[in-house]
Structure 1
Amino acid sequence: MFIDSLIVGPYQTNCYIYGNEETKSAWIIDPGADADKIINALNKRDVIPVSVLLTHGHWDHIMGLVKLVETYPSLEIFVGKKDLCYLGKEGKAYINKYCFDLTFLQSFKNEINNLPEADYTLNGGEYLDDCHFKVIATPGHTPGGVCYLDEENNILFSGDTLFANSIGRCDLEGGSYSEIQDSLKKLMKLNDEVIVLPGHGPKTSIKAERNNPYF
């Protein structure tokens, strides 16, 4: 097993490639942008992506989808059920309504206009057999936010729910402070040893975040 971390797009999103050298398979978490960079990393490892696992549907986490799906036609997209509205035609409408970054809108016009739909939706509680991830529902930053837990290796992909010494903002459309607090309490039940790989910024751990000032 390996994990490659790539910083992509204008919002410095952490995209992760979780790969298996033996099966030559990989899973992409949050391809925020820079699809060519992600594809190059996959080629360097000589792996083929099986799925894209979205922690949530905000635009800074999904702009790499269009080219990835074009490059790998069998690629499957997973997203929290309540975040379906951020993809496809609904996603285009959402971005054009709520994104006020004109440079972003212009730079990613093609990606926004051609956002793919999700193939599978998640409610939390699922176990993804191929990559051995447990899905944890963590609404708050978005209604359908999820985290992916690799229990065997004590690794949590936390998206924009939990950061190093911070938490995800809840003032965007669909955000809820009370929900993210409940989600954070859920994450704090994990073992201290769990390494947290967030959607932005440096990695941290559950142990370190027990002193997070935003809880």
Structure 2
Amino acid sequence: MKIYFHYSLEGFSNGYLVGNERSKEALIVDPGVMNRELLDHIEENRFQVAAILVTHSHESHWKGLDTLMKIYAPKIFAADAELGGCRTELLQGDGVFTAAGFAVRYFAAPGHSPDSLMYQIENVLFTGDALSAGRLGTTNNDYGKRNLLNHLKGKLLNQNDEVILMPGHGPPTTVGAERLYNIELTRESTIESLPLKDFTTDREPFRYM
């Protein structure tokens, strides 16, 4: 397996070309942009693009679909039935499918968005915006954060420390590194269970002169 990293300046997002050197097939995770660099990597390796995996429906993670579909004829996998006018192979919950000669496991990880998915190929897990190095994905409220935490604790922290995490933004990391340094992910208590402090006092209130 070969993985090529591609960066989209428009959404400051990461995309990945994953090549199968035996079958000469490839899949693309989150094609935020389709540019000459990505095309060169595909053609120089003589890869046939068999699949596109989209982690969630924010446009910066699939904007390159339109151009890709004009050149290749891959299947699109996502938790949305349609993206940018393109029909997809709809994924829900957790499961596994085969693409480009790889067994691809997928995990629902709602929180950053309701349709967030993570994809695992061998010892590499593509997390989308559910998690980046040292940080949880952004959420709109405490419920979304708690929901995301529950999914990540059950589906990411149960992986081996050596599993490599490829996020939608920022550098790669590992499960072991996140277990050690991602405080939001590993702390026992969520916001709702933290004790409230009593800030009452018998002192005179401060007065401006």
Contact 2:123 2:162 in 1 (8 A): yes
Measure, in 2, the Cα distance between the counterparts of 1:124 and 1:22.
Answer: 30
Contact 1:78 1:118 in 2 (8 A): no
Q: Output the amino acid matched with 1:177.
A: K
Q: Equivalent residue for 1:123?
A: 92
- TM-score when scaled to structure 1? 0.78
SS at match of 1:60: helix
Q: Equivalent residue for 2:201?
A: none
Q: Equivalent residue for 1:7?
A: 7
Say yes or no: does 1:133 pair with 2:104.
yes
Contact 2:34 2:68 in 1 (8 A): no
Q: Displacement, 1:84?
A: 4.1
Map 1:9-88; keep pairs closer than 5 Å.
Answer: 9-72=9-72, 74-80=73-79, 83-84=80-81, 87=83
Q: Equivalent residue for 2:153?
A: 185
Say yes or no: does 1:142 pair with 2:110.
no
Q: Output the amino acid matched with 1:198.
A: P
Measure, in 1, the Cα distance between the counterparts of 2:93 and 2:106.
Answer: 5
Q: Displacement, 1:209?
A: 0.4
Measure, in 1, the Cα distance between the counterparts of 2:167 and 2:14.
Answer: 7
More helix by share: 1
Contact 1:9 1:34 in 2 (8 A): no
Measure, in 2, the Cα distance between the counterparts of 1:34 and 1:124.
Answer: 28
More strand by share: 2
Measure, in 1, the Cα distance between the counterparts of 2:7 and 2:15.
Answer: 6
Measure, in 1, the Cα distance between the counterparts of 2:22 and 2:4.
Answer: 16
Q: Output the amino acid matched with 2:27.
A: W
Percentage identity across aligned positions?
33
- TM-score when scaled to structure 2? 0.80
Q: Quote the RMSD (CA, aligned, Å).
A: 1.8
SS at match of 2:138: coil
SS at match of 2:151: helix
Q: In the comparison of the two structures, how many residue pairs are matched? A: 180
1:146-190, Cα deviation, whole Å (9 max, x unpaired): 11112xx31101111111011211129xx9222211122121111
